[in-house]
Structure 1
Amino acid sequence: MPMLPDTLEVITLFVDNIDEAKAFYRKVFSPRIVYEDEVSSVLEFSNLMINLLQVTQAPELVEPMAVASLRTGASFLLTIRVDDADEVCARLRHLGVSLLNGPIDRPWGRRTAAFADPSGHVWEVAQVLKPAG
């Protein structure tokens, strides 16, 4: 039996500017807002919540570990499965979101494209490709 359950509930993203982050996530994802105050916004994504947290509030959550500098490069990638990557990318561009790459057919059977939020957190949309044949 594992020590911890395997139910991932919340991912907290430390953000430079909470107002800018809130506006970006509302525009791009239109999630249900579970909780919000002047330094955070908890957003519901089907079976997972994303907590946008002003980076100045992060130290108390991770002490004694230091909070990493934002925008120094990608350290993780959050992937959302979509039915049509090209359509989603067209909608993102229409919203003013710049793609980092893609859509690209990947050798592991996905068509993907990546974009970043205002604090540099990288998101990917991934469409499952049908096997050739």
Structure 2
Amino acid sequence: MTLKHISAISLFVEDLPASRAFYCAVFGVPVVYEDDNCAVVQFEHLLVNLLKVANAADIVAPGAVAPRDAGSRFQLSIWVADVDAVCAHLRQRGVAFHGPLDRPWGLRTINFVDPAGHSWEVGQQLNGTATAEPVS
């Protein structure tokens, strides 16, 4: 058995309509499933389940659901060919972000959060020094 492929990530959200609208507008991803408790959007080969925080305890048991104000505990990253173009895209959609910054590990990055406080990084490889291959 191999467990090397991540199929889906569930993000816990307080305001499902706002989160759904954010993901569709900012990332341009389609909603592939939704009901009263969740909206599932598709990023190429990865599903992101936007789940109302009130329903999260059932899927993380025996773990606990942290409140939004506990701070970021992970970050999702997307590699692109042109971070500055992404900055322009985000500005047009009213998204506040930090950066761009040229990082010592070879990426030019920006960071922003979704309406539920989940951290996103967008990175561009600089001078072939980053270990990950950028995707446009």
Same fold (TM over 0.5): yes
How far apart are 1:94 and its partner, in Å? 1.1
Count of residue pairs the alignment pairs up: 129
Q: Is the 8 A contact 2:24 2:31 kept in 1?
A: no
- TM-score, normalised relative to structure 2: 0.90
Report the equivalent of 2:121. Answer: 124
What is the alpha-carbon distance in structure 2 between the residues aligned to residue 131 and residue 33 of structure 1?
35
Runs of 4+ in 1 over 6 A off after TM superposition: none
CA deviations 1:62-106 (Å, max 9, x no partner) are 12322111132111110001111011011101100000x110001
Tell me the SS of whatever aligns to 1:71: helix
Note the residue ranges of structure 2 that are not aligned, 5 or more in a row: 130-136
The equivalent position to 2:58 in structure 1, one of 60, 64, 68, is 60
Q: Secondary structure at the match of 2:76?
A: strand
* Structure 1 alignment gaps of length 5 or more: none
| TM-score normalised by L of structure 1 | 0.92
Q: Please give the residue correspondences for 1:36-75 in structure 2 after superposition, counting only pairs within 5 Å.
A: 36-75=34-73
Give the CA RMSD over aligned residues.
1.4
Percent identity (aligned): 47
